[in-house]
């Protein structure tokens, strides 16, 4: 539970965000700025997010310096920023309050009817589906999403109603600072074990998350066994959702390229032929959480139908990046085996010919703990290229490399190659991709840049041929393409 928040006179407050370019931090910076605060921040590199914040009147710097704290009243840091950061150290010396991102979110949502959406997977998309529904229904919520949404013009908005819809991050336990009226749990899975240690600790955290629902209800997935295991310990009323069962249930699901259609059973009666403008069974479940919220808030059915049929995708969630000479590029943030499996199921439906993937593992700890699970989720690909691990804030672990995943993938018969780095992607794919092929980049790091570079290379090759040539494309039969494990080992040694 959150501590009582101090009264903040936002127009008279200067807030400085350390690591302001992060998706969660930037959302809060946007909200603070919309409340009238003077906002500054810094990050380790330039980004489009910094440019967008500058356009809103925020002062954004690259690099960390104690000088950034002149005139600052409040410092906010992400969980990845260490205590010895020069700006955090200066805040301590100057007696400037220094709080975490999760604590500021808790302060902002206090005195609201908060919808806090958490879970191992799907929380960003579910947050946007719910937010879009409330916006289109005229409920005017405040929103904080863990991804960029074109319809929001970013990742946050400030509304005038009491409703506050936010993604609730369980990765560092900060979701327990919140006091939601509607805690939503999409699923519970083995992730962030570097923080929790084991599944029992993860389940315990979600049990605590269910304790806060004053006057509201816990909205939870009936399809997830780990969720079902913790619900008997919830102290609040529980509303479940799922495919085929639950208080709010989807039936007769029809998955189509780029969308899903289903019938929904609710306590008040069925809804026929709900059209969801997002693909995959996982997004059906995500939408059911929003449908449960709509039922709790007694929103009109017409608003539900309109919102579901017109929900744009969140950036980096099966995002279509472009199409050049018949080669289509998608990008997805998926970085856990369960997420990748769901993404590739939907991507396969969008691929008329071959589906080629570039995967960038995220964090050494996740690779170490889940490399065997990663091996089983790439079966829908015709070719997989695996990049070196994106470390995030972690230090390397001896013996933990992308080769661990490559071995598991190859053992299941999927053609796989290790890349020395992402810069090698355009050359590797030159001549590989042909009209009708689909390329998808997968991972929470900067793998999307490699996809864009590959598409740019195809465009450049086309220009060099005067737009009349075609790229060479070898036989694409999956049964005839293979990569010897010796080759995988050799590439790993060269990386």
> 118 phi and psi, to 5 degrees?
-130, 170
313 CB-near residues (< 8 Å, 6+ apart): 125, 278, 319
DSSP for 217-237, written as a single string: -EEEETT-HHHHHHGGG-SS-
Mark which of 62, 78, 104 sits at the end of a domain: 104
| 396 & 290 share domain | no
DSSP for 94-146, written as a single string: TT--EEEHHHHHHHHHTTSEEEEEE-SSSHHHHHHHHHHHHHHTT---EEEEE
Q: How far apart are CA 393 and CA 415, in angstroms?
A: 30
Q: How far apart are CA 114 and CA 311, in angstroms?
A: 21
Give the length of the chain.
495
178 CB-near residues (< 8 Å, 6+ apart): 2, 105, 106, 109, 114, 116, 166, 168, 212
pLDDT at position 474 over 50: no
| 429 & 384 share domain | yes
**What are the tens digits of pLDDT across the range 233-270?**
998 899 999 999 999 999 999 999 999 999 999 998 99
> What percent of the chain is modeled with pLDDT above 90?
88
Residue-level pLDDT at 4: 56
Q: How far apart are CA 47 and CA 42, in angstroms?
A: 11
Q: How far apart are CA 65 and CA 59, in angstroms?
A: 14
pLDDT at position 431 over 60: yes
CATH number of the CATH domain containing 20: 3.40.50.720
| 118 & 231 share domain | yes
Count how many domains the chain has: 3
pTM, whole model, 2 decimals? Answer: 0.90
Per DSSP, 314 falls in state B
Domain membership flag for residue 2? no
Residue-level pLDDT at 467: 59
Where in 267-308 does DSSP place strands (E)?
Answer: 269-276
Check if the beta carbon of residue 420 is closer than 8 Å to that of residue 494: yes
Give the torsion sign (CA, 279, 284, 289, 294): positive
Mark which of 104, 138, 165 sits at the end of a domain: 104
| 167 & 66 share domain | no
Mark which of 251, 277, 309 sits at the end of a domain: 309
| 286 & 325 share domain | no
Check if the beta carbon of residue 233 is closer than 8 Å to that of residue 185: no
Domain membership flag for residue 4? no
Per DSSP, 265 falls in state E
- Which of 462-487 are b and which e, b meaning 16 or more Cβ less than 10 Å from the residue's Cβ? beeeeeeeebeeeebeeeeeebeeee
User: Average pLDDT for residues 3-10, to the nearest whole number?
Assistant: 76
| 399 & 451 share domain | yes
Catalytic residues: 123-124, 167
**What are the tens digits of pLDDT across the range 279-333?**
999 999 999 999 999 999 999 999 999 999 999 999 999 999 999 999 999 999 9
CATH number of the CATH domain containing 335: 3.90.190.20
**Residue among 193, 357, 345, 120 nearest 255 (CA):** 345
| 363 & 268 share domain | no
Check if the beta carbon of residue 288 is closer than 8 Å to that of residue 296: no
**What are the tens digits of pLDDT across the range 368-405?**
999 999 999 999 999 999 999 999 989 999 999 999 99
Domain membership flag for residue 5? no
**Over the chain, what is the mean pLDDT?**
92
| 265 & 374 share domain | no
| 48 & 170 share domain | no
> 489 phi and psi, to 5 degrees?
-65, -40
| 116 & 97 share domain | no
Domain ranges, residue 97: 10-104
Residue-level pLDDT at 91: 97
User: Average pLDDT for residues 135-157, to the nearest whole number?
Assistant: 96
Q: How far apart are CA 384 and CA 468, in angstroms?
A: 29
Domain membership flag for residue 260? yes
| 219 & 358 share domain | no
| 133 & 252 share domain | yes
Residue-level pLDDT at 491: 35
């Amino acid at each position: 539970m959150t501590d009582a928040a101090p009264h903040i006179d936002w127009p008279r407050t200067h807030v400085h965000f350390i690591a302001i370019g992060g998706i969660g931090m930037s959302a809060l910076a946007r909200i603070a700025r919309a409340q009238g605060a003077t906002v500054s921040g810094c990050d380790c590199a330039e980004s489009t997010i910094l440019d967008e914040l500058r356009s809103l009147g925020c002062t954004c710097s690259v690099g960390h310096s104690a000088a950034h704290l002149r005139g600052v009243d409040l410092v906010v840091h992400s969980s990845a920023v260490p205590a010895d950061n020069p700006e955090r150290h200066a805040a301590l010396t100057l007696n400037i309050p220094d709080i975490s991102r999760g604590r500021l979110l808790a302060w902002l949502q206090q005195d609201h009817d908060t919808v806090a959406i958490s879970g191992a997977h799907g929380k960003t998309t579910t947050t946007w589906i719910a937010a879009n529904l409330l916006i289109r229904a005229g409920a005017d919520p405040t929103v904080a999403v863990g991804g960029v949404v074109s319809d929001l013009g970013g990742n946050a908005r400030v509304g005038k109603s009491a409703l506050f819809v936010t993604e609730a991050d369980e990765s560092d336990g900060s979701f327990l600072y919140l006091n939601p009226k509607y805690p939503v749990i999409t699923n519970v899975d083995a992730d962030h074990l570097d923080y929790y240690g084991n599944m029992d600790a993860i389940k315990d955290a979600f049990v605590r998350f269910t304790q806060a629902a004053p006057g509201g209800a816990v909205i939870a997935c009936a399809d997830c066994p780990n969720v079902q295991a913790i619900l008997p310990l919830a102290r609040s009323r529980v509303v479940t959702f799922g495919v085929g069962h639950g208080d709010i249930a989807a039936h007769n699901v029809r998955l189509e390229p780029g969308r899903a259609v289903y019938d929904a059973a609710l306590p008040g009666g069925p809804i026929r032929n709900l059209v969801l403008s997002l693909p995959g069974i996982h997004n059906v479940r995500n939408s059911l959480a929003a449908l449960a919220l709509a039922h709790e808030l007694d929103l009109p059915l017409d608003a539900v139908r309109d919102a579901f049929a017109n929900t744009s995708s969140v950036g980096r969630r099966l995002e279509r990046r472009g199409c050049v000479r018949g080669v289509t590029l998608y990008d997805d943030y998926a970085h856990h085996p369960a997420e990748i499996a769901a993404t590739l199921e939907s991507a396969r439906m969008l691929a008329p010919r071959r589906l080629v993937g570039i995967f960038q593992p995220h964090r050494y700890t996740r690779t170490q703990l889940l490399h065997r699970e990663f091996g089983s989720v790439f079966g829908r690909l015709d070719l997989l290229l695996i990049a070196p691990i994106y470390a995030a804030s972690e230090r390397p672990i001896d013996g933990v490399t992308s080769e661990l995943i490559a071995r598991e993938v190859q053992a299941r018969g999927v053609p796989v190659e290790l890349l020395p780095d992402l810069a090698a992607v355009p050359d590797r794919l030159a001549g590989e991709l042909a009209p009708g092929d689909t390329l998808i980049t997968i991972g929470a790091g900067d793998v999307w840049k490699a996809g864009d570079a590959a598409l740019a290379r195809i465009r450049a090759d086309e220009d060099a041929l005067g737009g009349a040539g075609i790229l060479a494309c070898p036989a694409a039969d999956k049964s005839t393409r293979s990569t010897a494990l010796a080759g995988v080992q050799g590439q790993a040694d060269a990386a």
